[in-house]
Structure formats: structure tokens, C-alpha cells
């Protein structure tokens, strides 16, 4: 909704900032510019609830004065403001202490070819089309079961954006991406009370988004089965994580493998590179070039090429997630995992991060458990990344003789992540990408459940 500025203009703005920083005495610099537009539609109980429309832009500058460095960001691109912005960023850099490891990557390391990765779909949805999709998803959720009596609503979002990265070593890269998502959150009720769950689809290509009916029906299936949930007994049992919550175990792994957590001594996986951290049937990849992936990008937050690499191979830890800085601190090269928020120095994180599926069907994993817990939801932040200690609120189903017996809630599951990765007993065959991090069903041989 603001005036359009062409891609060419942003490239010029970026290069102009590099020139100005150099004139101020900066020995090196990089600039990242992002712009994008979003249309978000929320409906509730069959009517429009909220419409949000916006177009925004932001620019981040990082400057180096020798080994001193600072970063800054602004949304004000006017010439006068940018001049002051460069001056202030340079002054900030000169006020901090020298860090011998700081700096841009070496020339020659940067991405040179930018392959087609299918992460941008130029489909433009009209407001009314998005309203119709969200209404259909909510309607399908209500139609699927009479116990759906209320709703937190349906939501359909579309967004597209561009990233431009330029630095004083001469790298200049840009790419565009898009995202389409549809979700619905129905509420079921019976005499015992209310339960809520939700289901969603998200894709870079509009054509590949699941149908509103499929999303609505799955949301209802997940919601009504929670009705009548009770507490479970305290004790040690096998725990099966459904794919949605199994993905959180991979997120924690990413946090522990971030170069920044490792060199600060704030990870439970320090010194584990090359060690066996899981059984030999566990293999985990990070793939920044997966076509159409939600974590796919041609270059990382420093301009280095992304790639596909095994992070855990047959149970052995084969790679950390590193950018240039954290890599140097650990004596290792960058793995092309620099993540970047506009106006911040890089951090290290995953691209598309997933566990290779096994051959066991999820229902067969269930059948292997006599007494245990099937987890579908986790809440809270009870994870200590330094020690790996794990204690979170959970809900799901109690398993008796290989079948889901009844829904459970108001319980916790606890262990230590290091032990949990080692105690992976079975991996399901059901891997579906629904985000940047994806996992099949995972069975952990034993955890402490606290309930009654």
C-alpha cells in the first residue's frame, strides 16, 4: 500500500549505503534489505472477523572498523535519514571492543550461482478469495462433527517478499519468496467441558495448498477426540510423539547445534561432533536447497551458498549449524547456516531440517506399546539447553494394549534430551513437510510421566 519502489532501486540503495559506510571509515560492511506485502484474513462463526493488509520494508546495515562491529536497522529510506543512519551505525561500532574473530566471510566463499528453487509463486489472491477459503475451512470443520459448537476461527494468509544482500567484498544477491497458509481452530464441547485444537496447511505455492475441506475435517478430527480428557497416573512409560510434536525434538536439536550455543558453553551437545548421539537408524538432514521448501533459500544470511548436509548420520553427529563467526570460534568452516534478522549480526540456524523416515507405519508403532503415552500437544518452556533437562506440559492419549484408550491432559513428561535422542526406539514412515522442521512419528522407549 505504500508507493512501489523497484528492485533496481533497492539494489542502488544497498550499494549507496556501502559507499557511504566506506566514506565514514568503515573497513567492511554488509547491507540487507527486505520488503514484502501481506494480506491476512480471519473469519469466525461464518463471518469476517479481521482483515489485515500491509506492505513494508526494512533495511539493515552492519559495519566493521577493523575488528569492531555494530549493526542497525531502519524503515526510513529517505536520503537524509540514511545519511544520519550510517553515521550513527559507524559511531556505535567504534564504541564497542575489538573482537579478533569478527569479520565478513572471505571473498571467494560467496554464492555465485542462484538456482531456481521454486520458492516464489506470483499468484495474487483477492481479499474475497481469501475470505472464501477461510470460510470454507471453518464450515468444513463445523460440518464434520456436531460436537463442534464454537470456533476460534479460520485464517487465510498470503505474503510475498524480497531479500537483497550486498557486501563490501562485492557480493550482491537477491531472491523473492512467497507463502500461502490456511488454518482453522474449532472448539468442541460436551458435559465435561471444552477442547480446542487446530490444523493448517502452508506452502510456497498456492496450487499445492491443501483444500479447505481437508484442513477443516482434520482440525475437527483432532479436536473432538480430546473431549473427556483426564489425568494419567505418574510413572515411567514409553512415549510416542506424533509428527507435529516430534518436530519439536528436532527444534531443540537445532538450538543445541547452533554454533553460538556451542562456543558459549550453553549447549548440552558440546564436544559431541563425531560421537554417537542416537541409534544407528537415525539420520537427520539440513537441506537449504530443497525445491519449494519453507526453509529454502539460495544463499544464507552472509551470502554463502546453502546446501544439503547430513547433521546426524546413522546416529553419529556429523555437523553443527554454523555461520562464519561461530565457526571460527569453534575452529570450523561455516556450514552455510547463517540466519539473519534485519539489522542484527548473523546467528546460526536450520534451513529445512528433517529426520529421514523409517519403514514402520505409525499404527504399528502404537501396536508395540502395552501401556504408554501418545503425545499430540506440548506446552511450556521447560527445557534447559545447557544440561538438556526436559520437563513439559503434555496432552494426548493413554495407550493400552496397542490402542488409544482415552484422551489425557494436565500431565507432564520429563527426561533429558541427550537420553531421549539415545532412547529413540522406532521412527515412523510418515514424514510430511508442514514447516521448516519436519519429523515422522517417533517412539522414545521411556520417559517420566507426572499426573495423578
Partner 1 sequence: MTNNETGALARFGVTDRDIEQALGRVKVSAVDYADLYFEYCQSESVSMEEGIVKRATKSVGQGVGVRATAGEKTGFAYSDELTAKDLNIAADTARYIANSVQGPAPVPVTHRPALARNLYPHDRATIEVATRDRVTLLNAIDAEARRYDPRIKNVMAAYNTEYKVMLVATSDGLMVGDIQPLSRLQVTCIAEENGNRQVGTFGGGGRIGLEYFQNDQRYLHFAREAAREAILNLSAVDAPAGVMPVVLGGGWPGILLHEAIGHGLEADFNRKKTSAFSTLMGKKVASEVCTIVDDGTLPFRRGSLNVDDEGTPTSRTVLIEKGILRGYITDKLNARLMGIPVTGNGRRESYQSVVLPRMTNTFMLAGESDPQDIIKSVKKGLYAVSFGGGQVDITNGKFVFSASEAYLIEDGKITRPVKGATLIGSGPDILKQVSMVGHDLKLDEGIGTCGKEGQSVPVGVGLPTIRIDEITVGGTKASS
The residues in 251-270 that bind partner 1, with binding defined as CB under 8 A, are 264-266, 270
DSSP 53-117: EEEEEEEEEEEEETTEEEEEEES---HHHHHHHHHHHHHHHHHS---TT--PPPTT-S-------
SS (H, E, C) 334-386: CCCCEECCCCCCCEECCCCEEECCCCECHHHHHHCCCEEEEEEEEECCCECCC
Residue corresponding to grid cell 489485515? 52
Binds partner 1 (CB under 8 A): choice among 231, 289, 316, 434: 231
336 within 8 A of 200, measured Cβ to Cβ? no
Query: Under the criterion CB under 8 A, does residue 25 sit at the interface with partner 1?
Result: no
The residues in 387-406 that bind partner 1, with binding defined as CB under 8 A, are: 387, 389, 391-393, 395
Q: Which is nearer to partner 1, 40 or 205 (CB)?
A: 40
Q: Kindly indicate which of the ranges 138-146, 158-166, 299-307, 342-350 contains the residues binding partner 1, using the contact rule CB under 8 A.
A: 342-350
Query: Under the criterion CB under 8 A, does residue 408 sit at the interface with partner 1?
Result: no
At closest approach, how far in Å is the CB of 94 from partner 1? 9
How far is the C-alpha of 139 from the C-alpha of 285, rounded, in Å?
38
Q: Which is nearer to partner 1, 303 or 451 (CB)?
A: 451
Cell matching residue 409: 491432559
Query: Under the criterion CB under 8 A, does residue 364 sit at the interface with partner 1?
Result: no
How far is the C-alpha of 172 from the C-alpha of 14, rounded, in Å?
9
The residues in 28-57 that bind partner 1, with binding defined as CB under 8 A, are: 44, 47-57
Closest CA to 238 of 366, 369, 362, 364: 369
Query: Under the criterion CB under 8 A, does residue 291 sit at the interface with partner 1?
Result: no
Residue corresponding to grid cell 500431565? 411
Query: Under the criterion CB under 8 A, does residue 103 sit at the interface with partner 1?
Result: no
148 φ, ψ (degrees, to nearest 5): -80, 110
How far is the C-alpha of 11 from the C-alpha of 32, rounded, in Å?
10
Query: Under the criterion CB under 8 A, does residue 95 sit at the interface with partner 1?
Result: yes
How far is the C-alpha of 152 from the C-alpha of 198, rounded, in Å?
9
Query: Under the criterion CB under 8 A, does residue 230 sit at the interface with partner 1?
Result: no
Q: Which is nearer to partner 1, 423 or 427 (CB)?
A: 423
At closest approach, how far in Å is the CB of 96 from partner 1? 5
Q: Which is nearer to partner 1, 168 or 412 (CB)?
A: 412
Q: Which is nearer to partner 1, 292 or 343 (CB)?
A: 343
The residues in 422-451 that bind partner 1, with binding defined as CB under 8 A, are: 448-451
Q: Per-residue x/- marks for partner 1, 131-160, CB under 8 A?
A: -------------------x-x--------
How far is the C-alpha of 322 from the C-alpha of 330, rounded, in Å?
9
How far is the C-alpha of 369 from the C-alpha of 401, rounded, in Å?
6
Cell matching residue 36: 514484502
At closest approach, how far in Å is the CB of 268 from partner 1? 8
At closest approach, how far in Å is the CB of 419 from partner 1? 10
Cell matching residue 97: 571492543
At closest approach, how far in Å is the CB of 74 from partner 1? 5
Q: Kindly indicate which of the ranges 21-29, 115-123, 309-317, 409-417 contains the residues binding partner 1, using the contact rule CB under 8 A.
A: 409-417
Max Cα–Cα distance, the chain, nearest Å: 73
At closest approach, how far in Å is the CB of 361 from partner 1? 30
Amino acid at each position: 500500500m505504500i508507493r512501489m519502489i523497484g528492485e533496481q532501486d533497492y539494489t542502488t540503495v544497498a550499494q549507496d549505503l556501502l559507499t557511504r559506510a566506506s566514506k565514514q571509515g568503515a573497513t567492511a560492511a554488509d547491507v540487507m534489505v527486505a520488503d514484502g506485502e501481506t494480506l491476512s484474513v480471519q473469519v469466525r462463526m461464518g463471518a469476517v472477523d479481521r482483515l489485515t493488509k500491509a506492505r513494508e520494508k526494512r533495511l539493515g546495515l552492519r559495519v566493521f572498523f577493523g575488528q569492531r562491529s555494530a549493526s542497525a536497522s531502519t524503515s526510513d529510506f529517505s536520503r537524509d535519514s540514511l545519511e544520519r543512519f550510517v553515521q550513527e551505525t559507524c559511531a556505535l561500532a567504534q564504541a564497542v571492543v575489538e573482537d579478533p574473530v569478527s569479520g565478513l566471510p572471505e571473498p571467494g566463499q560467496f554464492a555465485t550461482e542462484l538456482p531456481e528453487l521454486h520458492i516464489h509463486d506470483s499468484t495474487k489472491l483477492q481479499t474475497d478469495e481469501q475470505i472464501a477459503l477461510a470460510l470454507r475451512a471453518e464450515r468444513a470443520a463445523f460440518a464434520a462433527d456436531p460436537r463442534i459448537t464454537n470456533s476460534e476461527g479460520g485464517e487465510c494468509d498470503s505474503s510475498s517478499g524480497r531479500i537483497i544482500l550486498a557486501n563490501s567484498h562485492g557480493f550482491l544477491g537477491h531472491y523473492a519468496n512467497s507463502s500461502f497458509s490456511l488454518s482453522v481452530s474449532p472448539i468442541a464441547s460436551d458435559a465435561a467441558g471444552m477442547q480446542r485444537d487446530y490444523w493448517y496447511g502452508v506452502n510456497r505455492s498456492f496450487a499445492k495448498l491443501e483444500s479447505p475441506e481437508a484442513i477443516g475435517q482434520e482440525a475437527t478430527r483432532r479436536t473432538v477426540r480430546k473431549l473427556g480428557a483426564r489425568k494419567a497416573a505418574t510413572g515411567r512409560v514409553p512415549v510416542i510423539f506424533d509428527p507435529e510434536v516430534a518436530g519439536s525434538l528436532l527444534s531443540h536439536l537445532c538450538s543445541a547445534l547452533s554454533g553460538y550455543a556451542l562456543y558459549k558453553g550453553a549447549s548440552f551437545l558440546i564436544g559431541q561432533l563425531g560421537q554417537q548421539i542416537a541409534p544407528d537408524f537415525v539420520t537427520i538432514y539440513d537441506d537449504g536447497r530443497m525445491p519449494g521448501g519453507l526453509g529454502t533459500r539460495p544463499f544464507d544470511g552472509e551470502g554463502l551458498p546453502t546446501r544439503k548436509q547430513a547433521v546426524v548420520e546413522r546416529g553419529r553427529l556429523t555437523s553443527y549449524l554454523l555461520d562464519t563467526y561461530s565457526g571460527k570460534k569453534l575452529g570450523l568452516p561455516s556450514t552455510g547456516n547463517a540466519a539473519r534478522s534485519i539489522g542484527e549480526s548473523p546467528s546460526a540456524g536450520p534451513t529445512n531440517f528433517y529426520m529421514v523416515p523409517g519403514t514402520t507405519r505409525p499404527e504399528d508403532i502404537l501396536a508395540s506399546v502395552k501401556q504408554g503415552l501418545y503425545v499430540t500437544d506440548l506446552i511450556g518452556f521447560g527445557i534447559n539447553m545447557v544440561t538438556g533437562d526436559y520437563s513439559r506440559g503434555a496432552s494426548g492419549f493413554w495407550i493400552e494394549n496397542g490402542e488409544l484408550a482415552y484422551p489425557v491432559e494436565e500431565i507432564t513428561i520429563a527426561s533429558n534430551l541427550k537420553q531421549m535422542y539415545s532412547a529413540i526406539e522406532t521412527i515412523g514412515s510418515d514424514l510430511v513437510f508442514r514447516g521448516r522442521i519436519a519429523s515422522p512419528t517417533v517412539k522414545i522407549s521411556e520417559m517420566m510421566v507426572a499426573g495423578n
